[in-house]
């Protein structure tokens, strides 16, 4: 057995839902050399590989029969006055905090998003009017199929709403979870001059006087808003928003307005509008619902929770019923934001 590779590991500490699942094999990756060892081991034994950070956007429905690679490299470094490289194994919120302390601005609206830095490009994380792609310069990756290392530009990452080249590759692998890309580091372009992003309604309400929107104040406000709406995974197992906000045609939206005059929407790409999935689910009566130990958060209908002892299948079946009810009532299909394995 290769050094550092463990057998039959419980994954409940490695996913924010806290559901029980086991990995046939497990390895923490701290150096480039670890990646090659993992590839050789998986090839020798014919194992699929799954890349895992903090497991804050994944639901294990079954055990994983292959090799789980946990990204564990650490560190951040300035490339120039306004460009910073962060290793994929760094906690994202800690990185945002450190940037703020270092006088590097731009990421304040993305504070308190759970997970590691390496997961940020996969999901093209976004919150409160900001998205990762606005700041990303490049991503250092390894193609696990070939072992080739390369630097991908923002354009090569093919970012879209809560999606990217990396996420689509993972989805195309289906439930096997077979990984193609391993993100090892990312380089971001930030700014020494602070310009507050108050495009999100809740932030604009907090800062009616723009002069009060200092970097620390915006950071603190974002953290407060998130804490008021989303449960701490350390206290109540969850993966944040379970579903994406659906995009529908403007024509379909106007039709729904006739039946549901209060239905909210946000501008999206031409001809499309984005409808809040939380509103749809709340109208369908899901907020605060519970089935055994699986449930829906009582403050946010978009957040599925593990009250303790729920299996991944329990949560998955609940999510399916929620999605089906929205489809039947509104004719809108919800797509999971959380990756399901």
Q: For 197-229, how does the pLDDT look when each residue is reduced to its tens digit (9 = 90+)?
A: 998 888 988 998 877 899 999 999 999 998 988
Confidence at residue 202, expressed as pLDDT on a 0 to 100 scale: 85
Model pLDDT for residues 40-65, shown as the tens digit of each residue = 999 999 999 999 989 989 999 999 99
Does residue 329 share a domain with residue 249? yes
Model pLDDT for residues 270-296, shown as the tens digit of each residue = 889 999 999 999 999 999 999 999 999
Across-strand partners of 51? Answer: 69
Q: For the chain, what is the HEC assignment?
A: CCCCEEEEEECHHHCCCCCCCEEEEEEEECCHHHHHHHHHHHHHHCCCEEEECCCCCEECCCCEEEEEEEECCCCEEECCCCEEEEECCCEHHHHHHHHHHCCCECCHHHCCCCCECCHHHHHCCEECCEEHHHCEEEEEEEECCCCEEEEEECHHHCCECCECHHHHHHHHCHHHCCCCEEEEEEEEECECCCCCCCCCHHHHHHCCCHHHCCHHHHHHHHHHHHHHHCCCCCCCEEEEECECCCEEEHHHHHHHHHHCCCCCCEECCCCEEECCHHHHHHHCCCCCCEECCEEECCCCCCEEEECCCCCHHHHHHHHHHHHHHHHHHHCCCCCECCEEC
Does residue 266 share a domain with residue 311? yes
Number of domains in the chain: 3
Q: Which of 241, 311, 323, 339 is catalytic?
A: 241
Task: Examine the pLDDT at 174 and tell me if it is beyond 50.
Answer: no
Determine what percent of the chain is predicted with pLDDT higher than 90. Answer: 79
Count CA within 13 A, CB hemisphere, residue 28: 10
Q: Any catalytic annotation for residue 199?
A: no
Tell me which of 10-24, 104-118, 220-234 is least confident: 220-234
Range of the domain at 19: 5-71
Residue 267 lies in a domain: yes
Does residue 312 share a domain with residue 298? yes
Determine the Cα–Cα distance for residues 340 and 160; give it in Å rounded to an integer. 19
Determine what percent of the chain is predicted with pLDDT higher than 70. Answer: 96
Model pLDDT for residues 73-84, shown as the tens digit of each residue = 999 999 888 999
Across-strand partners of 140? Answer: 151, 185
Residue 219 lies in a domain: no
Q: Any catalytic annotation for residue 172?
A: no
Q: Which residue has the tokens 């590989």?
A: 49
Nearest alpha carbon to residue 300 among 249, 228, 224: 228
pLDDT band, very low/low/confident/very high, at 178 (cuts 50, 70, 90): low
Cα maximum dimension of the chain: 64
Confidence at residue 20, expressed as pLDDT on a 0 to 100 scale: 95
Residue 223 lies in a domain: no
Final residue belonging to a domain, choices 37, 71, 105: 71
Does residue 182 share a domain with residue 83? yes
Residue 216 lies in a domain: no
Confidence at residue 1, expressed as pLDDT on a 0 to 100 scale: 47
CATH number at residue 137: 3.30.465.10
Q: What is the mean pLDDT of residues 165-171?
A: 78
pLDDT band, very low/low/confident/very high, at 170 (cuts 50, 70, 90): low
The answer to whether 215 and 194 are in contact (CB under 8 A) is yes
Residue 276 lies in a domain: yes
Residue 103 lies in a domain: yes
CATH number at residue 249: 3.90.78.10
Q: Which of 56, 133, 138, 162 is catalytic?
A: 162
Determine the Cα–Cα distance for residues 116 and 41; give it in Å rounded to an integer. 25
Confidence at residue 229, expressed as pLDDT on a 0 to 100 scale: 83
Main-chain phi, psi angles of 247, to 5 degrees: -100, 125
Does residue 160 share a domain with residue 65? no
The answer to whether 249 and 272 are in contact (CB under 8 A) is yes
Q: Any catalytic annotation for residue 151?
A: no
Nearest alpha carbon to residue 179 among 69, 90, 88: 69
Vertex 57, ends 5 and 180: CA angle to 5°? 55
pLDDT band, very low/low/confident/very high, at 142 (cuts 50, 70, 90): very high
Mode of pairing for the β-strands spanning 303-306 and 294-296: antiparallel
Tokens of 63: 């055990």
Determine the Cα–Cα distance for residues 88 and 75; give it in Å rounded to an integer. 9
Q: Which of 138, 140, 337, 339 is catalytic?
A: 337
Tokens of 220: 């603190």
Determine the Cα–Cα distance for residues 230 and 238; give it in Å rounded to an integer. 9
Confidence at residue 306, expressed as pLDDT on a 0 to 100 scale: 97
What is the overall mean pLDDT for the chain?
92
Task: Examine the pLDDT at 104 and tell me if it is beyond 50.
Answer: yes
Which string of b and e fits 72-106 if b means at least 16 CB within 10 Å? bbeebeeeeebbbbbbbbbbbbebbbebbeeebbb
Does residue 92 share a domain with residue 63? no
Residue 232 lies in a domain: no
Final residue belonging to a domain, choices 28, 50, 71: 71
pLDDT band, very low/low/confident/very high, at 314 (cuts 50, 70, 90): very high
Across-strand partners of 266? Answer: 274
Residue 260 lies in a domain: yes
Final residue belonging to a domain, choices 35, 53, 71: 71
Task: Examine the pLDDT at 175 and tell me if it is beyond 50.
Answer: no
């Amino acid at each position: 057995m290769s050094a550092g590779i463990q057998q039959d590991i419980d994954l409940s500490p490695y996913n924010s839902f806290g559901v029980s699942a086991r990995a046939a094999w497990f390895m923490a990756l701290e150096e480039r050399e670890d990646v090659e060892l993992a590839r050789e081991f998986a090839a020798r034994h014919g194992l699929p590989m799954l890349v895992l950070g903090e497991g804050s956007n994944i639901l294990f429905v079954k055990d994983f029969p292959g090799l789980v690679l946990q990204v564990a490299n650490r560190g951040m470094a300035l490339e120039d006055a306004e460009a910073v490289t962060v290793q994929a194994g760094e906690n994202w919120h800690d990185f945002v905090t450190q940037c703020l302390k270092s006088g590097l601005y731009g990421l304040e609206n993305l504070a308190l998003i759970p997970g590691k830095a390496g997961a940020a490009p996969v999901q093209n994380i976004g919150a409160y009017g900001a998205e990762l792609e606005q700041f990303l310069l490049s991503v250092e990756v390894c193609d696990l199929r070939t072992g080739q290392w390369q630097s991908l530009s923002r354009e090569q990452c093919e970012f879209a709403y809560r999606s990217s080249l990396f996420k689509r590759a993972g989805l195309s692998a289906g439930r096997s979870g077979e990984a193609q890309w391993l993100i090892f580091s990312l380089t971001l372009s930030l700014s020494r001059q602070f310009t507050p992003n108050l495009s999100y309604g809740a932030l604009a309400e907090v800062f009616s006087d723009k002069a009060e929107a200092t970097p620390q104040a915006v950071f603190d406000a974002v953290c407060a808003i998130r804490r008021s709406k989303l449960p701490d995974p350390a206290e109540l197992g969850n993966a944040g928003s379970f579903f994406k906000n659906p995009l529908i045609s403007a024509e379909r939206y106007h039709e729904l307005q006739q039946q549901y005059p209060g239905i909210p929407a946000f501008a999206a790409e031409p001809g499309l509008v984005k409808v809040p999935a939380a509103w749809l689910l709340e109208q369908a009566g899901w907020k605060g619902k519970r089935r055994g130990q699986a449930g829906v958060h009582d403050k946010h209908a978009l957040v599925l929770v593990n009250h303790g002892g729920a299996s991944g299948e329990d949560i998955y079946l609940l999510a399916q019923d929620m999605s089906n009810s929205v489809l039947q009532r509104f004719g809108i299909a919800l797509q999971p934001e959380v990756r399901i394995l």
